[in-house]
Structure 1
């Protein structure tokens, strides 16, 4: 890859961007190769050994060799997430603006799929904090909910809404992350095909779309709340110009985030409002292209009123007792039903759930426990992967690597069993899902829509 490989006028425009070094940039795209990084799940410590830590994220790590994640059962168990290192800077921003964690906060990831930044945010939150992960595009919601379920926490709600649908939630969120749809130039090294989609016209269209998204979501940020804005673009129009627009249009206050020189991140100031931004260039950082910034909202745009959902079903005490028996510290959770499915969410979030239900199209709330059949629970896959499951209440079956791969394929499992009933299938102590143990066979209940389809190379 040389200068002629890039889209016309792209490098010319990049020459004017802060911190850009043409020789380093081109060399990184020619000779840098792909960088593999993962982020460990702090709620599911698996003792995974890695090669080097990502400097701006404690759970982020680089790998010298990219393994086959598809055939690692710990990946499917949610012990880690494969994530580009630069994007993990959002963790550093959140921790910088929230040095104390005593007061519970509500966080929105507005453009959330596939879920990398949602699980990143979730890792930095307490159970008393609430994360709402929204995806605008309906077809991308399943991968978001799958990744949230793997992460295991119950303090998450996934929604499928346009940003304008949040206008009824005035002043609801303490922190909003807008990882905005962009022209994607920061992904050129990772995905060279993205070069074919880049144009100056597309940059301008993205800029207009970003302004529309931010204008729609602005009322939902509380007074003194924070907006974290990011793109995977180098274009000034999508980055510093957006910061100038936010500060001029809404009088937002720019927040300077502490960084270390050795990280290689370029700190910038927007030309008109002098708002702080942070640029990541391949070759200067171990990661791909990113822009990120943080601003504080200075004004109040109203508050969301409480809402009691009178349509919620009354729960039979006997049924509730059965469901609660599957939960560690069951008094910490609020239980409810959606049709025949039982769900649980941290008790502190009942009122928020009711209000969000009024305004948004909810696709996932807390943890789906399963359905009751008589006095038995038919357990859901979400329950298996969750942190709230009481393992003393269920059978467990330990699998070796080959057996775990058979299970994840929904194949027959080559194992001898001496028990019967619903069993949690585990690998190295981490749950993968459910199976029904019968006298002469095992019924594999791993969800078919996420089963391993690829063939393992020899």
Structure 2
């Protein structure tokens, strides 16, 4: 192994491991053919001898063997299918530093297999053989061929008459109890693979292919120590015949390789220095001019003077490929998004010859220190090291000519380096990696300038982390896949299982340990066409949340990714949105408004008043409803991604109006009698019921139809199954105009309550009855200083004669004082009820309802909205003031809520799915839950409203705790749904 360091003389042809030319083989004396001198022959004998010599010479010239290349088994890193050029032997190492794939390095000239012997030597060897030796060779060759034919015929007969039988269940159970027998497992794996290779003829009667595949997966997991998920993923990726080769390759380490640092030395000089130190090495292959493969070494390769001087770096052969595909040019502005430990970064700097600008980023500060150390040792002077999160790099700067993203991955291609990955990786790990990779590749594209190139690479062989991610980028950004420039490696997968990717993904390159003797690797090269998104992407009007949710897959399939374009249309129709909940957003986005008002009301009550605040709130609501009808589909770019900023901004203001109404309207309604407060609560219930009715009128309802649709992305047509909902009877803008009409009615009602004479009288009489000026049953006069609007804001003293007997009946049956403990208990109960009804339950409604069908979902939404005003109406005629009874109703509502939460937790397969009884039970649960919780809220508000002299204060705190409870419920729901992914959504047509 290895060559001597004599680079002046011409290297003799041979296997590349010895410099001396081999001597021609000689025979022992007793086997040498004895030739008599010519002069002893007669004339005729001499003529016959000359004739025989001429015939032999002609035969030798016709059978002159061609030169062959000798490769080292299991150590060669040459590319697949690369032809060897014939010609004169050149120098062993060349001085070229370029890593271009288009030029063949002189260092990688093929080495002959005849140990220095020429074709003439072989011919002369044949002439020197005795006739009996030649006859013996011919007989041996003939016998060997006959034996091979007999063995093939025997194997064919055995395969025809013997069929492998799978072990029975009892045999498998016995094997589980005993330690695995590797010999038995290996034999069974071989037999099962043989059956699968010709399944029709070799299968056992009554057995299907799935049984054989299951048995093969279990045996491979036991034999090679993989978990079931990873083995299943490999079986989907590789053909069965190739799978074992891949698994075997993972059991042995890859050859040690180093990369010459052309900033400081040349490969031939480095090779000579290392050979003189006792390092046995060879060129890595024709595809690289800077790589060397080391077979063994008498000194530590990572501690030689050349290593410390920065002449080379230890780097895997597969790590050369992304930089070769990136092909940076001198003077370019290049970004390496995941630079640690600095091998690829220093390679880029060497190709650029320390010109241009190189930005090396790694989010881990500790790993970034390794990058700095390697760059200093290797003499890189054009690099800047950063420690930013890769997802936010577009904010730091754009306009890069080339971007390299060697994305974090599961490491399924480097199992030989980390055998723990065999059992530690599962579907969640792959999902998290895929989600992060999608975010990073979009950031990489956004960092690149128009016309720039992006190289995406991973050390994984799984499609979910490779073609799937690139296909996702093709849909989200205006880019195209181009040739990598790598002349070897396998093509990417334009199809995988039932998935269809963009056809251009065939230009990607895959590398495997069993075929290329390097780590499993994936390389894709993209070219950015435009900084603007394609027109097809402009239809997405809502913030894309699929990539935010890993378990619901994110793992987003190519067939599902286009469903996001229908989000807003379905939502406006009343169709359930799978990844977004407007009520949930309301609870999380718009809580600051009422909280700010509440704090100001407590600290500076003389500044904050309900009436002006309500007027401002009404103006905001009307303008937002009007603008959203025109700008609901307006989008803009935020951090390089297209978002529905118009819809999101206007929905925030509408949510602010909704959430603030409880804090502002409740104290205002305390100025009126109990009947008006009940009317207000009924109207609040109708505010959710009426939009549901309008949505049904719009044409929403019924389960979606599943259709096979096609779409054209970047000039290529792909097919996927999508759920189609009925077309609406009127547009989305009309729906929002109806909402604006409701806001106008609300504002008109508030103006009437302030300026209508009848409403003023009801308001003032209510205020007078609440002024305690008498303590007996005598007739008395109650006076109150009020501001009458008819006096243009001037203060006037108005006296209202009120008889105690004339006080309304409701005033006589309500307690005049509420103990502080009861007051605090009712506030906490109100917060709990609102946490369920306003925060948690709306966030999981689709999870609990959609598995039973779209029709059942709409029934649950509409009927539960009807239960809200119905409960307010019942509370008006049948009020309850007993605290224990209120607690009992709250307990019942909580119990039903628990059942609904359980349905959501069991989604997408809750109990009784597909049965009418299951749908009925689910709808009934929602009606009872909303009705009971609403009844409790109205009862608590009635008690607070009727306390003497403190009704407005009580209702103020009632509104505060309503918002606090709703906020807490929303936060908890947010954590469960979006952070911990506790609930799994149901998707139709999947």
TM over 0.5: yes
The 3 A distance-change label for structure 1 pair 18 and 301 is: farther
User: Which of structure 1's runs of 4+ aligned residues deviate more than 4 A?
Assistant: none
Aligned match of 2:254: 34
Question: Over alpha carbons, which structure has the higher Rg?
Answer: 2
> How far did residue 283 of structure 1 move?
1.4
| Alpha-carbon contact 2:259-2:312 (below 8 Å) kept | yes
| Alpha-carbon contact 2:259-2:315 (below 8 Å) kept | yes
**What is the CA–CA distance in structure 1 between the aligned matches of 2:524 and 2:421, rounded to whole Å?**
24
The 3 A distance-change label for structure 1 pair 279 and 12 is: same
| Alpha-carbon contact 2:257-2:315 (below 8 Å) kept | yes
Aligned match of 1:87: 319
> How far did residue 48 of structure 1 move?
1.9
Aligned match of 1:74: 306
The 3 A distance-change label for structure 1 pair 171 and 115 is: same
- For 1:2-13, list aligned pairs within 5 A: 3-4=220-221, 5-13=225-233
Secondary structure of 2:375 counterpart: helix
Superposed CA offset, 1:398-434 (max 9, x none): xxxxxxxxxxxxxxxxxxxxxxxxxxxxxxxxxxxxx
The 3 A distance-change label for structure 1 pair 301 and 124 is: farther
Aligned match of 1:48: 270
**What is the CA–CA distance in structure 2 between the aligned matches of 1:89 and 1:65, rounded to whole Å?**
24
**What is the CA–CA distance in structure 2 between the aligned matches of 1:259 and 1:198, rounded to whole Å?**
30
> How far did residue 18 of structure 1 move?
6.2
Residue in structure 1 matching 2:448, options 217, 221, 224? 221
Query: Structure 1 regions of 5+ residues with no counterpart?
Result: 303-458
Aligned match of 2:765: none
Superposed CA offset, 1:318-364 (max 9, x none): xxxxxxxxxxxxxxxxxxxxxxxxxxxxxxxxxxxxxxxxxxxxxxx
> How far did residue 200 of structure 1 move?
1.7
Aligned match of 2:523: 292
Superposed CA offset, 1:222-270 (max 9, x none): 001111001111111100001110111113110122443xx4x211143
Aligned match of 2:779: none
Tell me how large the CA RMSD over aligned residues is. 2.3
Of residues 78-87 and 11-20 in structure 1, the stretch that sits farther from structure 2 once superposed is: 11-20
Q: Is 1:106–2:337 an aligned residue pair?
A: no
The 3 A distance-change label for structure 1 pair 171 and 70 is: closer
Secondary structure of 1:185 counterpart: coil
> How far did residue 180 of structure 1 move?
0.5
The 3 A distance-change label for structure 1 pair 250 and 146 is: same
Q: Is 1:240–2:467 an aligned residue pair?
A: yes
Q: Is 1:16–2:236 an aligned residue pair?
A: yes
**What is the CA–CA distance in structure 1 between the aligned matches of 2:337 and 2:247, rounded to whole Å?**
33
| Alpha-carbon contact 1:172-1:221 (below 8 Å) kept | yes
| Alpha-carbon contact 1:40-1:60 (below 8 Å) kept | yes
Aligned match of 1:158: 385
Q: Is 1:126–2:328 an aligned residue pair?
A: no
| Alpha-carbon contact 2:326-2:404 (below 8 Å) kept | no
Aligned match of 2:292: 61
**What is the CA–CA distance in structure 2 between the aligned matches of 1:34 and 1:53, rounded to whole Å?**
12
Query: Structure 2 regions of 5+ residues with no counterpart?
Result: 1-181, 187-219, 272-280, 496-500, 534-990
Compare the two structures and name the one with the higher helix fraction: 2
| Alpha-carbon contact 1:106-1:130 (below 8 Å) kept | yes
TM-score when scaled to structure 2?
0.28
> How far did residue 219 of structure 1 move?
2.0
Residue in structure 2 matching 1:281, options 492, 512, 524? 512
Q: Which has the higher contact order (CA 8 A, sep 6+)?
A: 1
- For 1:195-344, list aligned pairs within 5 A: 195-260=422-487, 263=488, 265-271=489-495, 272-274=501-503, 275=505, 276-300=507-531
The 3 A distance-change label for structure 1 pair 164 and 25 is: closer
**What is the CA–CA distance in structure 1 between the aligned matches of 2:289 and 2:409, rounded to whole Å?**
27
Aligned match of 2:421: 194
> How far did residue 211 of structure 1 move?
1.1
The 3 A distance-change label for structure 1 pair 118 and 29 is: same
The 3 A distance-change label for structure 1 pair 226 and 159 is: same
Secondary structure of 2:264 counterpart: coil
**What is the CA–CA distance in structure 2 between the aligned matches of 1:179 and 1:216, rounded to whole Å?**
13
**What is the CA–CA distance in structure 2 between the aligned matches of 1:93 and 1:159, rounded to whole Å?**
23
Of residues 108-117 and 194-203 in structure 1, the stretch that sits farther from structure 2 once superposed is: 194-203
Compare the two structures and name the one with the higher strand fraction: 1
| Alpha-carbon contact 1:175-1:225 (below 8 Å) kept | yes
> How far did residue 52 of structure 1 move?
2.5
The 3 A distance-change label for structure 1 pair 183 and 206 is: same
